[in-house]
Structures are given as structure tokens and as C-alpha cells.
Amino acid sequence: MLRWSALCLSLALAACSPESGQEPVAEELAFPAADRPVSDLGATAFADETLRDSRQEAATVMQLAGVRSGMSVADIGAGEGYYTVRLAETVGPQGRVLAQDIDRGALLRLGDRVESERLDNVSIVGGKPDDPHLPVNSFDRIFLIHMYHEVGDPYAFLWHLHPALRPGGQIVVVDVDRSPDRHGIPPQLLFCELGQVGYRLVEFVRHPALAGYYAQFEAMAERPQPKDIRPCALTGSGSGTPDGAGGRTPAPQ
């Protein structure tokens, strides 16, 4: 199965070349550095899947995100596939899931899992820390689950995500309200960083099933030029949230 996984990964990486619809590489782009700590990379398996299912984590996130049959979704920082396999079941045979990670070992293990569970609607790709190399105009939802705080170049990363969304597509972030050097990100800092790169908050939810929070963003029509992006600072506790953050919070209009 490892041989199959290596072939799967190789083919998937080839499919992400500019000729297949990926955004052309722009070597001259200069993005601001993050004005905050960046978390060390965590374990790719993250936590016991039985425990996560017992509190309905993935089911809650997919319900909040409106995932349904036939959708095209991306799982960025997929690790060994907790969300990937559950998204594959939810979008069904008419939908598709692209699982991406920068850890080649994790992707090979995920390839074995995809083959073992016969998930024909899943593709596996590698990426770079500042660019996940997603095909343009391809996804209804892009999931960043407990990984955004590990992104070392958040402005470049988010800027490269923008073209991958279909019209009406949205980015879903699940994370923990604490400093990035403690494997989390305060919500207000998250809102600021995504806002700088052309995304608008549409929903924010705290939920016990997530052991953290859920934030959903839509892309505005135009992303800014990299030179116009201003880095957001982590100030004070950085843990402020919109009014009413104990439950579902409507986004500001």
C-alpha cells in the first residue's frame, strides 16, 4: 500500500502544476512577516479520533459549515485524515475532497488510509508552508482545522488561498483562543489577519464540541496587493471576541 500511496502523492503533485489550473508562481511577491509568535508544528494525528467523535467534533463543524452532498472541499493540514475521511463520506460520490499537508510522511500514511477505506472521491497533494498550491476556482469550503496558528507566513498563505474558492465559497477555521506560542490564536487577531488579505467574517461560534471556536469567512471580490497588506499585532491578552461570543455571533456588516 505504501507504493500505491507514493504514486498517488506523486500524481497529485503533478496535477497541481500551473498547466492544470493552478495560479502561476509569482516569485517577486513580497509579503509582510507575521507580527506574532508562530506555533511549532504539532502531531499530525492530533488527538484520539474516538474521543473527537464522542463529542461530535467533525459532525458539528460540518453542520456549521453547511457541508452537503456534491460539494468540493479542501482539508488543509489534513495530517492523517480525521476530517478528510468524514468530509469524504458527507460530500458523497458526487463530491470531492482534496487533502493537503506539508508533511510528506503524513500524506503517505493518509494515502494508505484512503486506499484501505476505498475513498475514491479523495485526492492527496503536497504544498508549501506559504502556498498550499490549490487549483483555482475549485472549492466550496476550505477547512483550516487546528493548524492556522502553525502557519509561519499567514499573509502569503491566505493570499494564495483566495483564488481557489468558487463564487460563494468560504474558509472555515477551527482553533483555540490562546497565544500562538501556546498552539492557538486569539479570535480578534485571526479576524484582523484574514481581513488584511481580503476576507470577511460571516460567522463566529464557540462550541464545547470543538474545545475552541469556529470562524467562517468569505472572500471579497478583490484581494489586496501584497505591498498593501499591513501585519496585525498581538496586543494585550489578544483574546477579545465579538459581542455575544458565548454562542453563535453574527458577523459585523
Confidence at 226, pLDDT banded by 50, 70, 90: very high
Between residues 250 and 162, which one has the greater pLDDT?
162
* pTM for this entry: 0.84
Q: Considering the chain, what is the average pLDDT of its residues?
A: 84
Helix boundaries (H) for the chain: 2-15, 49-54, 57-65, 82-91, 104-116, 154-161, 187-196
Residue 21 pLDDT = 59
pLDDT of residue 4: 40
- Which residues lie closer than 8 Å to 118 by C-beta, 6 or more apart? none
Architecture of the domain delimited by 2-13+48-250: 3-Layer(aba) Sandwich (3.40)
pLDDT attached to residue 28: 64
pLDDT, one tens digit per residue, over 96-142 is: 999 999 999 999 999 999 999 999 999 999 999 999 999 999 999 99
Q: Are 197 and 224 in contact (CB under 8 A)?
A: yes
Residues of the chain above pLDDT 70, percent: 79
| 46-94 pLDDT per residue, tens | 558 989 999 999 999 999 999 999 999 999 999 999 999 999 999 999 9
Average pLDDT over residues 28-51: 77
Per-residue model confidence (pLDDT) at position 48: 83
Set of cell numbers at residue 58: 467533525
Q: What is the 3-state secondary structure (H, E, C) of 98-143?
A: EEEECCHHHHHHHHHHHHHCCCCCEEEEECECCECCCECCCEEEEE
Least confident of 142-146, 147-151, 244-248: 244-248
Mean pLDDT score, 177-192:
93
| Per-residue pLDDT, 11 | 41
Give residue 236's pLDDT.
Answer: 61
Per-residue pLDDT for 18 more than 80?
no
pLDDT of residue 22: 57
Q: How confident is the model at residue 211 (pLDDT cuts 50, 70, 90)?
A: confident
Q: What local confidence, expressed as pLDDT, does residue 251 receive?
A: 47
How far is the C-alpha of 68 from the C-alpha of 75, rounded, in Å? 15
- Confidence band of 243 (pLDDT split at 50, 70, 90): very low
